[in-house]
């Protein structure tokens, strides 16, 4: 009996010690060491790697899931230089020297021994050449029965002095060499000059038509650059 009682007492003591071990904790009056439960403690969470550190494991998007990029279309031309205007790209059309003779009624009608009649010679230069020495030369043909030179008197108006000055009027049937002319006045590009003259038929001048031949000589190059004629008729006394 004593042996059986000792076994029972040992068994009860072991049971009480086991119960005492499991009963200690926050819910009991006696403080104890909390036990660690694997189900109640949170597992440490590791930080996810950055996208640049670790490639994404997701599969690439299918072509249907990626939107097609839209191309912006503009109607304005990109960085085009405006073409130059036609006026700026083309040089001006060349123009040249012109000579115009004017008289009342477009002609001269002189009376031997009578009053003089006036006419003008206008030189209008173009944009091609400038001239340093231009000279006006006048000539009439000799007529049978006429008096010795000078049968006609030609004068030029001098605007600087306000007087008429004698001018040369050659009466001959031959041409005067251009190389023998000297002097003249300048005429720049696009320049205009008007020269005023008057002519008189003295007593004894032969009657009939006899035009005045007018030549414009460039004495620097010894060339006749322009020429024309002014109709003239002399009446008897």
Task: Please state the three-class secondary structure of the chain as a single string.
Answer: CHHHHHHHHHHHHHHHHHHHHHHCCCCCCCCCCCCCCCCCCCCCCCCCCCCCCCCCCCCCCCCCCCCCCCCCCCCCCCCCCCCCCHHHHCCCCCCCCEEEEECHHHCEEEECCCCCEEEEEEEECCCCCCEEEEEEEEEECCCCCCCCCCCCEEEEEECCCCEEEEECEEECCCCCCHHHCCCCEEECCCCEEEEEEEEECCCCCCCEECCEEEEEEECCCCEEEEEEEECEEEECC
Query: What tokens does 13 get?
Result: 């003591």
pLDDT for 210 beyond 90: yes
Mean pLDDT of 184-197: 97
How many whole angstroms from its chain centre is CA 170?
52
Model pTM score:
0.62
Query: What tokens does 150 get?
Result: 């000078």
- Of 178, 180, 177, 150, give the one whose Cα is nearest residue 166: 150
What pLDDT is attached to residue 31?
43
Least confident among 32-36, 64-68, 98-102, 174-178 = 32-36
Compute the distance between CA of residue 211 and CA of residue 107 in angstroms, rounded to an integer: 9
pLDDT for 148 beyond 90: no
The pLDDT confidence band at residue 137, using thresholds 50, 70 and 90, is very high
What pLDDT is attached to residue 156?
98
């Amino acid at each position: 009996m004593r042996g059986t009682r000792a076994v029972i007492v040992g068994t009860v003591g072991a049971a009480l010690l086991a119960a005492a071990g499991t009963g200690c904790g926050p819910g009991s009056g006696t403080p104890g060491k909390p036990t660690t439960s694997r189900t109640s403690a949170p597992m440490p969470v590791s930080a996810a790697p950055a996208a640049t550190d670790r490639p994404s494991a997701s599969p690439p998007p299918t072509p249907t899931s990626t939107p097609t990029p839209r191309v912006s279309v503009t109607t304005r031309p990109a960085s085009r230089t405006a073409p130059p205007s036609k006026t700026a790209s083309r040089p001006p059309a060349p123009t040249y020297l012109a000579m115009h003779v004017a008289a009342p009624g477009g002609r001269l009608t002189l009376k031997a021994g009578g009053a003089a009649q006036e006419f003008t010679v206008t030189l209008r230069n173009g944009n091609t050449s400038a001239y340093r020495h231009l000279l006006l030369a006048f000539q009439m043909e000799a007529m049978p029965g006429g008096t010795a030179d000078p049968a006609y008197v030609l004068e030029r108006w001098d605007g600087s002095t306000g007087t008429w000055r004698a001018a040369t009027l050659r009466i001959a049937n031959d041409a005067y060499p251009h190389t023998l002319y000297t002097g003249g006045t300048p005429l720049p590009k696009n320049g205009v000059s008007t020269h005023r003259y008057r002519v008189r038929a003295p007593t004894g001048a032969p009657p009939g038509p006899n035009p005045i031949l007018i030549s414009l000589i460039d004495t620097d190059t010894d060339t006749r650059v322009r020429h024309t004629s002014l109709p003239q008729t002399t009446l008897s006394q």
